[in-house]
Amino acid sequence: MSYYISPHFLDKLSVHITKNFLDLPGVRVPLILGIHGRKGEGKSFQCELVFERMGVEAIHMSAGELESPDAGDPARLIRLRYREAAELIKVRGKMCVLMINDLDAGAGRFDRGTQYTVNTQLVNGTLMNIADNPTNVQLPGSYDSSPLSRVPIIVTGNDFSTLYEPLIRDGRMEKFYWQPSPEDRIGIIGGIFAEDGLSSQEIKQLVDAFPNQPIDFFSALRSRVYDEQIRQFINKVGINQVSDHVVNAVKGPPKFDKPQFGLSILMEFGKLMRGEQDQVEKMRLSREYNQDLRLVDQHASRSASLQQENAKSTFSDDLDNESAIANRAQSSKYTNSNIQQVPSIHLDLETQEQIRELLSQGCRLAIEHANERRFRTNAWKSGTPFQGNEASEAITSLVECLSQHRGEYVRLIGIDPKAKRRVLEKIIQRPHN
């Protein structure tokens, strides 16, 4: 099967690899090439195709190898693999690279909840050290004065902003954002279905039907077409006999005829797979679970604040009455002036009616908010679910939430607790309105 290689991808990768094997006077060449982009767009697979085209040997590492219960093991493994690649260059006399897949998943820090361990620090430090001294990479506890061959390092990931910034600076890492052009997408997906008899026009129609799907969606789509034959095989031999016919079978593993890869069949399975993706987005059970945890934390915080207020109130009762009255009057005046400065927020009648209808059906209400950047990337933050079953209480709580998130997008969420799914997503506040 002949797969498509993007000319832009081939150019970027081949130039970086070749440049690292040349002695360019007075030029500092970054050792690391970081290829980042959306998930499932074929970054690693395109690298493999380029390596094969150029005759380059690759020593592989993955994000799962960048953590260990023993501190220092991942950093030592990186040095070991690098030296292994350098030895291959020396012995075989051909180009070799060290490739680390999904570096951000193993060494990145996505939020405050991501554990930042000693191994993460050592991995970042080791890669920085190798990038600065590519011909002098030593193993712990030993020293070899002989210079090593320079080995280009290729790393892939989705979000390099989660990595340690000194590691990704230009002197150490050259960044390449991989976003397939429409021509690249058609070429790559055409290579996936090259042996299935689809015309170039049918490939274009298939790509246009699912414009927001990554490359691996179409690879999984091709695999899904075989499901019906496998289902018939299971029914034929009996589900309790599948193991005997598949693993260590006397007559060998079963063989299947090539199914019909018609455009209509692919469209049908594609819509089914897209529906499964939408269902995952609608459920968002982990987000609901995290909301419940936040409720517990907020309840504890309110209890602590209430105790502090009670203590302050008891102390203030011992003060002179005239002074207390004067302070209360001044506080009231200040509060009233603030209220006058803040414009009132009202909900439209349609939203109020939707709230009443959802509460009458036993649904729960919550909000999500996002600033301009998060709104563009559809990365909403969860708010606090509303308590109580009265519409007036829910509307009052919602207005308070809107005032807390002025200048942000806010959307109302309705959740069916029995079906554990969302029944409403409505933007009720926009910062520019």
* Amino acid 229: pLDDT: 87
Once rounded to an integer, what is the mean pLDDT over residues 18-45?
93
- The tokens for 97 are 């690279």
Measured CA to CA, the distance from residue 399 to residue 402 in angstroms comes to 5
Query: What is the model's pLDDT at position 250?
Result: 80
C-alpha to C-alpha distance for 195 and 82, rounded to whole angstroms: 38
pLDDT tens, 262-286? 888 899 889 989 888 887 776 665 5
Mean pLDDT of 222-251: 88
Q: Exposed, middle or buried: residue 158 (CB in 10 Å: 0-12, 13-18, 19+)?
A: middle
Tokens of 92: 């075989």
Domain annotation for the chain: domains and CATH numbers: 7-177 (3.40.50.300), 182-283 (1.10.8.1070), 345-429 (3.30.190.10)
- pLDDT-derived band at 294 (thresholds 50, 70, 90) equals low
**pLDDT at residue 336, as a whole number:** 43
What integer best gives the mean pLDDT of the chain? Answer: 82
Mean pLDDT of 45-73: 93
CB-CB contact of 414 with 421 (8 Å): no
Average of pLDDT values for 163-192?
92
pLDDT band for position 370 (cuts 50, 70, 90): confident
Task: Look at residue 325 and tell me whether its pLDDT is greater than 50.
Answer: no
- Is the overall model pTM greater than 0.85, yes or no? no
pLDDT in tens, 98-135: 999 999 988 888 766 566 788 989 999 999 999 999 99
What's the confidence (pLDDT) of residue 420? 74
Q: Are 422 and 284 in contact (CB under 8 A)?
A: yes
Q: How many percent of the chain have pLDDT more than 70?
A: 82
**Average pLDDT of the segment spanning 313-320:** 50
Of 231, 213, 171, 222, the C-alpha closest to 193 is 222
pLDDT at 339: 37
Q: Give percent above pLDDT 90 in the chain.
A: 38
For residue 386, pLDDT over 50 is answered with yes
What pLDDT score was predicted for residue 398? 81
> Over 50: is that where the pLDDT of 341 sits?
no
